Amino acid sequence: MWVEKLRWVRVDDPRVRTLPVDAHMRLSLGGHTLRLVRTPAGLFALEDRCPHQGRSFEGGWCEDGCLVCPWHRFAYDPATGRARQGSTANVGTFPVEQRENGLHIGFPYTTFRLFGIDLW
Ligand code: FES
């Protein structure tokens, strides 16, 4: 049986701890290029790829709890990835968990479970 799972990867970058509210940063982790966004509602992880034309959010800004793409000013809710303004396409998001040993981000993958054992 096919099973959807999350592979949790710990973030070792010290810049995350000091990332201020209404700011964002680029992060490479687990083979993904992410955009971490801190808003008054918390810390969120998104794909660093605007769904409008596939460009990075580098140079963008936070406004009213959204991440605004610098290229054409489309805005996305970092909690859900939903477009708030300018686009109908959404940004991919990843779950974030603060654990005792640090911040972790979950990356979805599919495995095959046979007799209760996940094959990968
Ligand atoms: S590439 Fe982001 S709004 Fe156009």
Percent of the chain with pLDDT over 90: 86
* Residue 53, ligand 1, Cβ within 6 A: yes
Q: Is the CB of 75 under 6 A from ligand 1?
A: no
For residue 64 the two structure tokens come to 């009213």
Answer whether 68 contacts ligand 1 (Cβ < 6 A): no
Name which residue sits closest to atom 3 of ligand 1, judged by CA: 72
Q: pLDDT tens-digit profile of 27-83?
A: 999 899 999 999 999 999 999 999 999 999 999 999 999 999 999 999 999 999 999
Contact call for residues 24 and 15 (beta carbons, < 8 A) = no
Q: Which domains does the chain have, with CATH numbers?
A: 2-118 (2.102.10.10)
Ligand 1 atom 1: the closest Cα is on which residue? Answer: 53
Q: Is the pLDDT of residue 86 over 80?
A: no
Task: Provide the CB-side half-sphere exposure for 43 (13 A, CA).
Answer: 16
Tell me which residue of 76, 3, 5 sits closest to 35, measured CA to CA: 76
Amino acid sitting at position 41 = A
What number of residues does the chain have? 120
β-pair type (75-76, 117-118): unpaired
Distance (angstroms) between ligand 1 centre and the Cα of 56 equals: 8
Average pLDDT score over residue span 82-97: 92
Whether the CA torsion 54, 59, 63, 67 is positive or negative: it is positive
